[in-house]
């Protein structure tokens, strides 16, 4: 299972203390040397949950989806809890619905609410982006819930992508199964440049391996 954090977790929490207590000096600040230089370190379950809490903090802004209040996030970096925090994290990390919601928020934010194929940015009455988050390598084929395995697409293009009617070439040009999709539909739905509109951050660009998988295993195979 691979789930990408929505928020980059810094070394220090909101109180200026290290998440990993073994890296804390007498004043609560990280010290130099020792375990700080280790590539692999053991952390306690409580430290793990605190890091997950910070990493899965809700993305804000018009391109983020509202999170259901039943998830139970702490409002701030609170004192470490036991059962409530643990139950919430386990459910969030394992429940498909919650993982889908987190994935959708991150993809929508990465693409700025713009459909990567049509170039359209449609908003609902509340100002929320209407694009959907599509997995490039399907979750049924072990595709992870990370932005490099996602595309922000309108509902129709999401449906077409999932069914292999369209795909993405190595140079990010749009591939179309022309024996299944007529020219008029292509002209209406696909950006005139016929190339994928990429996120601003290169770390959010679709990974070539996932695109290759979609071309080889999904594209052109719709019934």
Q: What does the domain layout of the chain look like in residue ranges?
A: 21-94, 110-217
For residue 62, the 8-state DSSP code is T
Partners of 135 in beta bridges: 150
Q: Is residue 199 predicted with pLDDT exceeding 90? A: yes
For residue 125, the 8-state DSSP code is T
Retrieve residue 45's tokens.
């379950």
- Write the pLDDT tens digit of every residue in 25-34: 776 666 666 6
Retrieve residue 202's tokens.
């290169």
Task: Decide which of 217 and 120 is more confident.
Answer: 217
Of 14, 23, 10, the residue nearest 77 (C-alpha): 14
Name the least confident of 86-100, 186-200, 205-219: 86-100
Partners of 18 in beta bridges: 12
β-strand 166-168 against 174-176: which pairing, if any?
antiparallel
pTM of the predicted model over 0.75: no
For the chain, what is the total number of helices (H) and then of strands (E)?
6, 4
* Rounded Cα–Cα distance for residues 205 and 185 (Å): 26
Q: Is residue 211 predicted with pLDDT exceeding 80? A: yes
Retrieve residue 120's tokens.
């359209």
Would you call 175 helix, strand, or coil by DSSP?
strand
* Rounded Cα–Cα distance for residues 128 and 152 (Å): 13
User: 76-98 burial, b if ≥16 CB within 10 A, otherwise e?
Assistant: ebeeeeeeebeebbeebeeeeeb
Are the beta carbons of 93 and 51 closer than 8 angstroms? no
Residue 52 — very low, low, confident or very high, per pLDDT cuts 50/70/90? Answer: confident
- Phi, psi of 129, deg, nearest 5: -70, 140
Are the beta carbons of 146 and 2 closer than 8 angstroms? yes
Placement of tokens 């109180």 in the chain:
15
pLDDT of residue 198: 96
Task: Decide which of 165 and 27 is more confident.
Answer: 165
């Amino acid at each position: 299972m691979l789930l990408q954090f929505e928020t980059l977790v810094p070394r220090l929490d909101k109180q200026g203390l290290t998440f990993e207590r073994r890296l804390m000096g007498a004043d609560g600040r990280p010290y130099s040397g020792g375990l700080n230089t280790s590539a692999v370190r053991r952390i306690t379950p409580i430290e793990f949950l605190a890091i997950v809490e910070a990493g899965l903090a809700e993305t804000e802004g018009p391109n983020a989806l509202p999170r259901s209040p039943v998830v139970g996030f702490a409002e701030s970096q609170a004192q470490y809890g036991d059962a409530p925090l643990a139950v919430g994290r386990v459910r969030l990390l394992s429940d498909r619905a919650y993982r889908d919601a987190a994935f959708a928020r991150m993809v929508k934010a990465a693409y700025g609410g713009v459909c990567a194929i049509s170039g359209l940015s449609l908003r609902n009455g509340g100002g929320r982006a209407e694009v959907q988050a599509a997995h490039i390598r399907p979750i049924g084929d072990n595709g992870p819930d990370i932005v490099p395995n996602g595309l922000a697409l309108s509902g129709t293009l999401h449906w077409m992508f999932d069914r292999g009617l369209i795909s993405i070439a190595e140079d990010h040009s749009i591939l179309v199964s022309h024996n299944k999709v007529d020219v008029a539909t292509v002209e209406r739905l696909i950006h005139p440049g016929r190339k994928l509109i990429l996120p601003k951050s290169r770390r959010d660009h679709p990974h070539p391996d996932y695109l290759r998988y979609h071309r080889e295993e999904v594209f052109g195979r719709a019934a």
